[in-house]
């Protein structure tokens, strides 16, 4: 019981620490951003550098602790830090490293007029990213059992450092873009102020690293999510009865979903490439936008209808829900709902802008339909995934249903059960034999059972097809924003309506969440596919 | 089990509905605020009117349902909707009604040039506030057991309506103030645009209702908090073993805390009144600010030291922690931490501004100290309150300690136990009598026990004194911002640093939370006082 007290104490204290780090960062960054003279830029950079340095040191210490206590109990939460999250962290981490190198390069060419902090900061950031990526890869499943409170503080420090870096990156990027968009002919020099790039190589460094900003933003989000899960898991003792059913992920039986999904994926890739080429020249931009919106509307339409169909199927085949507490699932659901807010945000702002201006251009109307469908699709898909995650796996349920009958072969029941018709008929006939032998209903009853089972099988199959289709189409909806499609800027309407810094900030805050949502949805759909 | 499924389904769906209502409202309001032509003002008003109308209808329907099913089980959560919250809702509700009347008055005088929506909207708002205040007063403790899902949707509608109204009010107020502050000589006419006030009476209506805005903002926050608790409570079945120990709140035994608390309260009131009078004239403003800051720094210093002392006392007298799940307490803790964010936000932004500008004026330095102390005070007080709420009441603990002994008079044990020394000595002697009669340690043991008990009593007394002191001083820190002290605007530094709309938005968002925090802290401190 005393242990509990300290658990809450440590949680509370570390939470308060985290809140204060983030708020101070937030105030510093917005002070730097909104004040005409960048008088606090130095402070922002020092703050970030100190935070990253501290976090880096802590992570090294943690790794040393873990290595030293390898023999002690080191529980793992197998649901935390799934492969897609860790791989994503590595991918975005590498991109961030490239960004850091470009930043250092630029600062070195400007060494004559800029403060040395501009070199120290990216160097520390590089070291930090390397350590953190390794740390997340190795330790993201740990449920720390030693140094509980110190680990809580360390993880909260990691979380708040990443969020502060995220806030700083979003603000930086928004300011840069708004300067760039407002006056596209002035080039990158206007963004820097008195100490601007004058050489060719410096400018190319600068252009390069602004392209990589989205990956840096995404990296911070990933690291935050993973360190939050680790923080929640500190001191948790896993119950080992959560059977790790490693179903093979076999898609070959579900041709329809596979074919439709691949069709959307491939056509989406084609549309995306054409769009990226055409949107940059003035004369083809309108055409590119129209094509892009039409593809999106068709695909989103399909992706809205299919989870709706699956949800209706759920209603028809009532299966028991798994209402046990499951922290990982709760977190999954919260992340799905929370990350969807990003796209909701953008979509609602677009809708308001289009309705208020009501310009009547073709691609503004398309933009309206696209935004509405985006919201509808997220809603329906979330309902489908969340309900899917809460359903009991099929085999478990059958186990429960038949538990009432006493079976001698209880242990190998599952293996026998693989052929459903055999089992059902066997059971029914045993019953019937006991009561009456000569009357002939048994055959009819067996057929009825079998038909029901086959019908349930059809439903399961439908759900599996749909999840496969959604899974594949979510991939293309991840690829398009992640690799630079920004119709929100290119159509120009919202930029004009809300003004530069505001709309850019909305998109820069919302879109990374949208990208995170798509990746998370793909992972959850795999799970739904397996459970169904 | 099937019931569980629907519970989650209804929760999820209503949550998604609420999110969408709020986001659409947010987009509409910021569309109206940031666009140069107020083209969407009509849409914002219609949206708010429709929302309030729907919510009002729903609340009437709910009241009819409840009245009709009076005989069916209607469980109450006695911890939800405490008196301070309900009374606050009524108080702020009345102020909002006055505001509504002033708004209607202004719109009627401007009927020749404004749309009738400007009259319909406040009328509906008035009706809505009346119904909602009654609804919250009557139903805030209900744990609805009939029409579960419909109630969830209705409460979520209430919650999101209130939050949307809150967003709209905050934005309105910030825009109004920023127009007013930037150009104080132009008067209120500039805020309205082409259809401004021209008569005396219209202007006084307008000036009046802008004074009442803070109450409206606070009212929406209160209503949101209460409807959120009701939403969480839908379908909850209360366990009745949570003994409602109605301790009398007797303060007369704790003179020191009482005296110090009243001293802070009274001197705070005096300072506040002088400040409000002096701050409005140019020549005495600086002096008023200095006085105000010095009082705040002294008071906050005392209010930081005392919870720190109490926390140390906690460490010294280890008492068992109550680690049972308690949803009301969890919510209380979350609200304390969450509402403190408002002041943190303001304080960090002030700190950054002062440090970045480093003006060296006396009242800027005082502002810096004040902001830092504000953060420290919130942190220490939160830690103290939260730890206090988690400690087991003294009598319960003793009960548990002694449960090992078989007692015949188990039922009336509590009554006997009122005199602790009598019981302890009685018990020890019984024991001793059983083992050895002639040896004399019993007396020593009794004395030792008594000394320990007296020492524990001293500690309890100290904690009680401190909670009483904090309770009284939190009241003055509630009164000052609630009734219009705004040193954040009057010192002028942050306004210059962050620019008008931004700093006003920060204060208008943060301060209502800060006011809410103080009220909530007072209520929680009463509880801590009773438990200790």
Q: Residue A238 has what pLDDT?
A: 67
Q: Residue B433 has what pLDDT?
A: 43
Residues A374, A300, A294: CA angle, nearest 5 degrees: 100
Q: Residue B250 has what pLDDT?
A: 61
B309 touches chain A (CB under 8 A): no
Alpha-carbon distance B188 to B330, whole Å? 45
Q: Residue A82 has what pLDDT?
A: 79
DSSP line for A211-259: HHHHHHHHHHHHHHHHHHHHHHHTT----TTS---------TT-HHHHH
Alpha carbon distances (Å) from B262 to A310, B378, B475: 65, 20, 10
Tell me if B356 and A40 make a contact (CB, 8 A cut-off): yes
A240 pLDDT above the threshold of 70: no
Residue A325's closest chain B neighbor by CA?
B4
> Quick one: average pLDDT of B242-268?
74
A189 pLDDT above the threshold of 60: no
Q: Using 50, 70 and 90 to split pLDDT, how confident is the model at B19? A: very high
B353 touches chain A (CB under 8 A): yes
Q: Using 50, 70 and 90 to split pLDDT, how confident is the model at B284? A: confident
Instruction: Give tens-digit pLDDT for B179-225.
Output: 666 554 444 444 445 577 778 888 888 888 777 888 888 899 889 98
Alpha-carbon distance B194 to B184, whole Å? 18
> Quick one: average pLDDT of B400-427?
41
Exposed e or buried b per residue across A233-250, where buried means at least 16 C-beta atoms within 10 angstroms of its C-beta: bbbbeeeeeeeeeeeeee
B337 touches chain A (CB under 8 A): yes
Closest chain A C-alpha to B500 CA, distance in angstroms: 11
Residues B511, B517, B521: CA angle, nearest 5 degrees: 155
Tell me if B337 and A24 make a contact (CB, 8 A cut-off): no
- For chain B, percent of residues with pLDDT exceeding 70: 77
Tell me if A1 and B320 make a contact (CB, 8 A cut-off): yes
B379 token code pair: 């942190």
Residue B130 or residue A215, greater confidence: B130
Tell me if B352 and A20 make a contact (CB, 8 A cut-off): no
Highest-scoring range by mean pLDDT, B176-180, B252-256, B333-337: B333-337
List the single best residue of B344, B355, B379, B381 to mutate versus A (max A Cβ within 10 A).
Answer: B344
Q: Residue B124 has what pLDDT?
A: 95
Exposed e or buried b per residue across A460-482, where buried means at least 16 C-beta atoms within 10 angstroms of its C-beta: ebbbbbbbbbbbbbbbbbbbbbb
Mean pLDDT, chain A, as a whole number?
A: 79
Q: Using 50, 70 and 90 to split pLDDT, how confident is the model at B458? A: confident
Residues B448, B450, B455: CA angle, nearest 5 degrees: 100
pTM of the model: 0.77
Out of A174-188, A456-470, B107-121, B465-479, pick the least confident. A174-188
Of A323, A383, A386, the CB nearest to B1: A323
B49 pLDDT above the threshold of 70: yes
Q: Between residues 489 and 508 of chain B, which touch chain A (CB distance below 8 Å)?
A: 497-499, 502
Of A16, A28, A390, the CB nearest to B352: A28
Residue pair A336/A381 in contact by the 8 Å Cβ criterion: no
Q: Residue A323 has what pLDDT?
A: 67
Q: Using 50, 70 and 90 to split pLDDT, how confident is the model at A250? A: low
Residue pair A26/A51 in contact by the 8 Å Cβ criterion: no
3-state DSSP call for residue B397?
helix
Instruction: Give tens-digit pLDDT for B288-302.
Output: 999 999 999 999 999
Q: Residue A358 has what pLDDT?
A: 78
B37 touches chain A (CB under 8 A): no
Sequence-distant (≥ 6) Cβ neighbours of residue B503 within 8 angstroms = B349, B488, B489, B494, B495, B497
H helices, E strands: number in chain A: 18, 2
A399 pLDDT above the threshold of 70: no
> Quick one: average pLDDT of B147-170?
91
Q: Between residues 190 and 229 of chain A, which touch chain B (CB distance below 8 Å)?
A: none
Tell me if B353 and A31 make a contact (CB, 8 A cut-off): yes
A471 token code pair: 């899974």
Q: Residue A490 has what pLDDT?
A: 86
Phi/psi zone of residue B150: left (φ > 0), alpha (ψ -120 to 50 degrees), beta? alpha
| CB neighbour class for B172 (10 Å; exposed up to 12, middle 13-18, buried from 19) | buried
Tell me if A2 and B349 make a contact (CB, 8 A cut-off): no
Residues A151, A152, A155: CA angle, nearest 5 degrees: 80
A362 touches chain B (CB under 8 A): no
List the single best residue of A31, A178, A357, A383 to mutate versus B (max B Cβ within 10 A).
Answer: A31
B8 pLDDT above the threshold of 70: no
Residue pair A303/A379 in contact by the 8 Å Cβ criterion: no
Residue A387's closest chain B neighbor by CA?
B9
- For chain B, percent of residues with pLDDT exceeding 90: 30
Q: Residue A73 has what pLDDT?
A: 54
Out of A154-168, A305-319, A412-426, B452-466, pick the least confident. A412-426
Instruction: Give tens-digit pLDDT for A113-156.
Output: 878 888 999 999 999 999 999 999 988 888 877 788 889 999 99
What ipTM is given for this predicted complex?
Answer: 0.73
Residue that has been written with the tokens 């849409």 in this structure: B43
Instruction: Give tens-digit pLDDT for B351-410.
Output: 988 888 877 788 889 999 999 999 999 999 999 998 888 887 655 544 444 444 444 444
> Quick one: average pLDDT of B88-115?
88
Residue B490 or residue A453, greater confidence: B490
Residue B434 or residue A315, greater confidence: A315
CA neighbours closer than 13 Å in the CB half-sphere of residue A76 = 11
Q: Using 50, 70 and 90 to split pLDDT, how confident is the model at A379? A: very high
Q: Residue B73 has what pLDDT?
A: 54
A56 pLDDT above the threshold of 90: yes
Closest chain B C-alpha to A17 CA, distance in angstroms: 9
Alpha-carbon distance B56 to B51, whole Å? 8
Highest-scoring range by mean pLDDT, A345-354, A523-532, B8-17, B414-423: A345-354
B29 pLDDT above the threshold of 70: yes
Using a CB-CB cut-off of 8 Å, the residues of chain B touching A26 are 345, 348
């Amino acid at each position: 019981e005393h242990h509990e007290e300290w658990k809450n104490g440590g949680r509370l204290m570390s939470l308060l620490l985290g809140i204060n780090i983030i708020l101070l960062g937030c105030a510093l960054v917005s002070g730097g951003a909104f004040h005409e003279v960048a008088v606090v830029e130095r402070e922002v950079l020092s703050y970030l550098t100190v935070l990253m340095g501290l976090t880096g040191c802590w992570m090294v210490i943690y790794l040393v602790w873990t290595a030293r206590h390898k023999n002690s109990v080191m529980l793992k939460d197998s649901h935390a830090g799934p492969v897609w999250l860790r791989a994503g962290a590595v991918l975005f981490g590498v991109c961030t490293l490239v960004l850091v190198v470009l930043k250092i390069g630029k600062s070195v060419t400007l060494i004559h007029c800029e403060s040395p902090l501009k070199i120290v900061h990216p160097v520390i950031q590089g070291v930090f990213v390397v350590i953190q990526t390794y740390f997340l890869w190795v330790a993201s499943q740990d449920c720390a059992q030693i140094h509980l409170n110190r680990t809580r503080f360390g993880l909260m420090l990691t979380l708040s450092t990443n969020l502060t870096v995220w806030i700083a990156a979003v603000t930086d990027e928004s300011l840069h873009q708004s300067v760039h968009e407002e006056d596209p002919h002035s080039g990158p020099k206007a963004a820097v102020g008195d100490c601007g790039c004058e050489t060719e190589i410096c400018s190319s460094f600068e252009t390069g690293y602004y392209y990589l900003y989205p990956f840096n933003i995404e990296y911070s989000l990933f690291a935050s999510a993973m360190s939050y899960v680790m923080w929640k898991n500190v001191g948790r003792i896993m119950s080992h009865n959560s059977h790790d059913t490693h179903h093979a992920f076999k898609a070959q039986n579900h041709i329809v979903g596979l074919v439709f999904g691949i069709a959307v994926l491939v056509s989406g890739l084609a549309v995306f490439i054409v769009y990226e080429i055409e949107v940059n020249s003035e004369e083809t931009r309108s055409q590119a936008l129209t094509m892009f919106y039409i593809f999106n509307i068709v695909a989103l339409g399909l992706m809205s209808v299919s989870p709706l169909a699956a949800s209706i199927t759920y209603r028809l085949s009532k299966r028991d829900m798994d209402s046990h507490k499951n922290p990982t699932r709760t977190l999954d659901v919260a992340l799905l709902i929370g990350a969807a807010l990003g796209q909701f945000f953008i979509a609602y702002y677009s809708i308001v802008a289009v309705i208020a201006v009501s310009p009547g251009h073709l691609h503004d109307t398309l933009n309206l339909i696209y935004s509405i469908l985006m919201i509808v699709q997220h809603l329906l898909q979330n309902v489908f995934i969340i309900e899917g995650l809460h359903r009991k796996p099929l085999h478990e349920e059958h186990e429960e249903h038949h538990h009432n009958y006493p079976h001698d072969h209880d242990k190998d029941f599952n293996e026998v059960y693989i052929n459903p018709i055999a089992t059902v008929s066997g059971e029914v006939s045993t019953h019937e034999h006991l009561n009456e032998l000569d009357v002939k209903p048994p055959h009819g009853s067996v057929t009825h059972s079998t038909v029901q089972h086959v019908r349930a099988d059809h439903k399961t199959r439908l759900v599996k097809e749909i999840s496969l289709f959604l899974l594949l189409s979510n991939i293309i909806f991840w690829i398009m924003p992640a690799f630079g499609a920004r119709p929100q800027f290119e159509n120009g309407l919202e930029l004009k309506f809300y003004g530069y810094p505001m709309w850019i900030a909305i998109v820069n805050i919302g879109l990374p969440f949208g990208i995170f949502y798509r990746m998370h949805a793909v992972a959850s759909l795999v799970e739904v596919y397996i459970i169904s």
